[in-house]
Structure 1
């Protein structure tokens, strides 16, 4: 949002300069020139920003250097890029239930996984929450994106390698214990290509159990439609924070039970919204 405001201010300045310089003709020509100048500067500023970011990642980020904690500098830029992606992808994102997010403690946030856009919309709509993500190891190998994820403290989770998975759980727990960030994970383990959710992996909840923190449950809707609708159609995306499982419950119950409870809360919300959509379609 802030980046778009700066670009708009700069574009307005360019328009003002055009007026002062007297580069005007009749009313139609004037309108066309001013609009062109505004768009030229607005989009040019965004392109310049992205190019500078791409160059910076190549020059200054070394993934071989361990990242002890998420970089606030790169987290700020992650939010800026998420804002731009949602803006240009025409994703109109709404969020409910933010009042449920714990204010006095870190937490583990879990959500259903529908699309690559899931973390983007979550970062976009929760700018005040210091979040870092647990992701597939392959995502951190993506050129440029992987480097930014590394600096933002994103952690690779190899579910096929128990030893490496345990390292990730320990690292995520440390982020929470040291108050560096709250952690987001998608317990399905991969994107669900069907309407129904995949079973939650109970191991994902070991992070909350070890750190003795609550679990924030999030239902995501329509993120899978963003790419299909782009660029001709706007997509209404919904983030619903459906509930919080308190730390005491997480501590006293098996991770399998916590996983079942979290998935049930999310599925209940998704099913309710699906019924509303079906009823509305019949009207």
Structure 2
């Protein structure tokens, strides 16, 4: 018993000395110590695995898109890709509210954007066949453009309104029967974790297609991989699915009201720590 206490005290003393040397507290010391231990695993295992899994699974997704269907490839391969990479990181995901999603219903999913890892969370745990709306320029990027096009993702030319309308009409054929489309209405990842201004594109898209908006809140991914950082760390995140919003109850000129309603829903959840 005395030996156990002595060991515990010596560990605490060493940790406090470590903290004092770094000018921080014990919690900070544990954080730095954890980063130190994780560093070789990050660069020796996780990062190579993320790249290798993408290189291996991308051609398989294209093949299944041709042999079976783009929707099958999008849901099965993308879900596996997201989950296996999350497992290797490791990232633990808790989900609430998924029962609000109805089978066979297509949604315009609207989510906040904190990290590249948001994509893993949405693909791996939302439980929907989702299509992304992407800038037309990404279609020309090697591998990414090829894979995304084969899986039925939507490329939109925002510099040409006529082509944008044509893309919207084409999207009507893809987004149906339970296949949904997803937007990050902030347009980019948050720098500090706060919720940025929402652009109206996603909501206009939903209104034009007559699809319900499904607000989704992601919490915790910024601690795993912040914007502009390579300091990848393990951790737990949560995915919260909110009540769908029926845009048919709003007129076209009332898009601002839909935007505010959805943004306030996500903001309230983010503030609920």
CA contact (8 A) 1:89 1:231 kept: no
Structure 1 residue aligned with 2:179: 181
Quick one: distance in 1 between partners of 2:139 and 2:262?
27
Quick one: distance in 1 between partners of 2:132 and 2:51?
26
Structure 2 residue aligned with 1:93: 93
Give the count of matched residue pairs. Answer: 221
Q: Which runs of 5+ in 1 are unaligned?
A: 1-45, 274-283
Structure 2 residue aligned with 1:269: 269
1:106 aligns with 2:106: yes
Structure 2 residue aligned with 1:162: 161
Cα-to-partner distance string for 1:145-184 (whole Å, 9 max, x where unaligned): 33222222221244444344434433333323x4361111
Quick one: distance in 1 between partners of 2:210 and 2:249?
10
Cα-to-partner distance string for 1:203-223 (whole Å, 9 max, x where unaligned): 221221122121110011122
Quick one: distance in 2 between partners of 1:74 and 1:103?
17
Quick one: distance in 2 between partners of 1:49 and 1:256?
41
Residues 40-51 of structure 1 aligned to structure 2 (within 5 Å)? none
CA contact (8 A) 1:113 1:191 kept: yes
**Closer, same or farther in 2 for the Cα pair 1:89/1:141, shift >3 Å?**
farther
1:208 aligns with 2:206: yes
Structure 1 residue aligned with 2:57: 53
Structure 1 residue aligned with 2:47: none
CA contact (8 A) 2:92 2:237 kept: yes
CA contact (8 A) 2:105 2:179 kept: no
Quick one: distance in 2 between partners of 1:171 and 1:152?
15
CA contact (8 A) 1:219 1:239 kept: yes
Quick one: distance in 2 between partners of 1:106 and 1:77?
20
CA drift at 1:72: 1.5
Structure 2 residue aligned with 1:144: 143
Quick one: distance in 2 between partners of 1:158 and 1:194?
30
**Closer, same or farther in 2 for the Cα pair 1:174/1:55, shift >3 Å?**
closer
Structure 2 residue aligned with 1:219: 217
Cα-to-partner distance string for 1:216-249 (whole Å, 9 max, x where unaligned): 1001112222236988842111111122112432
CA drift at 1:109: 0.8
1:190 aligns with 2:188: yes
CA drift at 1:251: 5.3
**Closer, same or farther in 2 for the Cα pair 1:171/1:231, shift >3 Å?**
same
Which stretch shows the higher mean deviation, 106-115 or 188-197?
188-197
Quick one: distance in 2 between partners of 1:154 and 1:132?
5
1:135 aligns with 2:134: yes
Structure 2 residue aligned with 1:245: 245
Aligned alpha-carbon RMSD (Å): 3.4
Which stretch shows the higher mean deviation, 196-205 or 154-163?
154-163
Structure 1 residue aligned with 2:116: 116
Task: Give the TM-score normalised by the residue count of structure 2.
Answer: 0.68
